[in-house]
Amino acid sequence: MSFDTGAVAVAVAVPLGMAALARIFPARPAPDFTSTLDELRTRYRRWELGLDFATIALCVPTGFGLWFALRGIAAAHVALAPPAEIAWVAGRYYWAVAAMMLAITLMIPVSDWAARHLLRERYAEYLAYLELKTKMDISGIARLVGSVIGAVSAVFIFLGLVWSVRVEADGLVVHRYFSLTTERHPFPEIRAIRTGPGLIAPNGNLVLRREYVVEFTTGRSWSTNNLLAEPSPAEKQRLIELLCARSGVSVQEAEVLRNEEL
């Protein structure tokens, strides 16, 4: 998808999504007060901006703290696995995404708590202002967004914890993304190992990056492309050299690796 096409898709999807939310979560009846929306905007606009800025500012250090915590949990989880000569697990960028989602989930109730305690008896009027402005039930949408992001975060973290690529004493052990099972491929199952100086991306473009494809006698294959880990080219080469030495299979050089092979 090109940038222009993506921009058009976003420009169309966002208003449609907001309209759908407004229909599902219509604004609740406003409390019995006489202030107009313009008067409420004058009264609470600074509060709205201040609370939004504080939420974003808190989200960053919270995300960093969660990032360190998640990486610690991942390291503890790896320590429970059997010994391996090479072990690849989800890398720091993956856990940064998970930490950011968790931070957003936590900041939604924190922002509401701060507004309640800072505005006190004016909180109901402030909430009414937000609902009059957006024409949506802000509290309902916040609960929905928090629940959805929280559930996605939990699945994301689970998938990251179980994903791994390991070279153990008897073979290659792979737990793929979106898989609930672990594959064990003894070294004699390795039928071929192929590589090339470049690969064909899904959009048809040639990417000059060396990757490797390991084919097994079972008909399955595994490649070093699109990993959650962040191995360097040298680390990929070391893993492949170890597989070659243990299986007795030599690396075959191809002109290019095609997307369907990866």
Same domain, 47 and 157: yes
- Model confidence over 16-65: pLDDT tens digits? 766 776 677 776 766 666 678 888 899 999 999 999 999 999 999 999 99
Same domain, 92 and 69: yes
Measured between alpha carbons, how far is 222 from 115 in angstroms, rounded to an integer?
Answer: 51
Q: What local confidence, expressed as pLDDT, does residue 3 receive?
A: 45
Same domain, 154 and 56: yes
Same domain, 111 and 229: no
- Model confidence over 198-247: pLDDT tens digits? 988 888 889 899 999 999 999 999 999 989 999 999 999 999 999 999 99
Burial class (CB in 10 A: 0-12, 13-18, 19+), 57: exposed
Concatenated DSSP letters for the chain?
A: --HHHHHHHHHHHHHHHHHHHHHHSBPPPPPS----HHHHHHHHHHHHHHHHHHHHHHHHHHHHHHHHHHHHHHHHHHHTSPP-SEEEE--HHHHHHHHHHHHHHHHHHHHHHHHHHHHGGGHHHHHHHHHHHHSB-HHHHHHHHHHHHHHHHHHHHHHHHH-EEEEETTEEEEE-TT-SS-EEEEGGGEEEEEEES-EE-TTS-EE---EEEEEETTS-EEESSS-SS---HHHHHHHHHHHHHHH-PPEEE-S-B-GGG-
Tell me the residue range of the domain where 110 lies: 30-162
141 pLDDT tier (thresholds 50, 70, 90): confident
pLDDT of 96 > 50? The answer is yes
Is residue 7 domain-resident? no
Structural domain ending residue among the three candidates 116, 144, 162: 162
Same domain, 201 and 149: no
Structural domain ending residue among the three candidates 140, 162, 184: 162
Structural domain ending residue among the three candidates 144, 162, 180: 162
Same domain, 254 and 132: no
Same domain, 55 and 114: yes
Q: What local confidence, expressed as pLDDT, does residue 88 receive?
A: 94
pLDDT of 101 > 80? The answer is yes
Q: Torsion over CA of 137, 143, 147 and 153, rounded to 10 degrees?
A: 100
Is residue 221 domain-resident? yes
152 pLDDT tier (thresholds 50, 70, 90): very high
pLDDT of 2 > 60? The answer is no
* Percent above pLDDT 90 for the chain: 64
Least confident of 101-110, 126-135, 158-167: 126-135
Same domain, 179 and 254: yes
Check if the beta carbon of residue 126 is closer than 8 Å to that of residue 47: yes
pTM more than 0.95: no
Same domain, 149 and 39: yes
CATH code where residue 204 lies: 2.30.29
Q: What local confidence, expressed as pLDDT, does residue 22 receive?
A: 67
Domain count, the chain: 2
Same domain, 183 and 155: no
Q: What local confidence, expressed as pLDDT, does residue 233 receive?
A: 93
pLDDT of 5 > 60? The answer is no
Q: What local confidence, expressed as pLDDT, does residue 20 receive?
A: 72
Is residue 18 domain-resident? no
- Model confidence over 72-85: pLDDT tens digits? 999 898 888 889 99
Is residue 73 domain-resident? yes
Same domain, 41 and 154: yes
Same domain, 38 and 158: yes
Which tokens in the block code for residue 40?
Answer: 């409420």
